[in-house]
């Protein structure tokens, strides 16, 4: 499955995160990975993976965050929401609902002073 920029466009931070998640995708081919920039300082990531079934949040975090070890700290620091869900949790997750229909931010990605890193 592909890694999707759920809304908006890419930037350097998004590109580096996608590069890291491509490795995750290679190791977990059934995973669905969506991400987008919500505001100048906020990137949201949703990782829906059947391999998370039966794992608690701590175990999921250990698995998923490890793929971001080589991403610059400034880029990782932009992740404000990182959902790690089993497929059956996607429709029930409040975070996923916010992902589908986000509350607008004061700073949108189209604002000229969006970060250029």
Band of pLDDT at residue 111, cut at 50, 70 and 90: very low
pLDDT band for position 107 (50/70/90)? low
Burial class (CB in 10 A: 0-12, 13-18, 19+), 81: middle
pLDDT interval class at 100 (50, 70, 90):
confident
- In terms of Cβ atoms closer than 10 Å to its own Cβ (0-12, 13-18, 19+), residue 117 is exposed
Over residues 28-40, mean pLDDT: 93
**Does pLDDT of 116 surpass 60?**
no
- The mean pLDDT value for 61-77 works out to 96
Chain-wide mean pLDDT for the chain? Answer: 87
pLDDT in tens, 12-31: 999 999 999 999 999 999 99
112 vs 24, which has greater pLDDT? 24
């Amino acid at each position: 499955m592909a890694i999707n920029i759920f809304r908006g466009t890419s930037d350097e931070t998004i590109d580096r995160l996608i590069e890291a998640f491509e490795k995750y995708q290679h190791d977990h081919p059934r995973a669905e990975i969506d991400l987008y920039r919500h505001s100048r300082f906020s990137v949201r990531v949703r990782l829906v993976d059947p391999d998370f079934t039966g794992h608690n949040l701590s175990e999921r975090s250990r698995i998923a965050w490890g793929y971001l070890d080589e991403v610059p700290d400034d880029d990782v620091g932009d992740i404000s929401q990182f959902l790690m869900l089993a497929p059956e949790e996607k429709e029930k997750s409040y975070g996923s609902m916010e992902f589908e229909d986000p509350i607008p931010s004061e700073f949108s990605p189209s604002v000229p002073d969006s970060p250029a890193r």
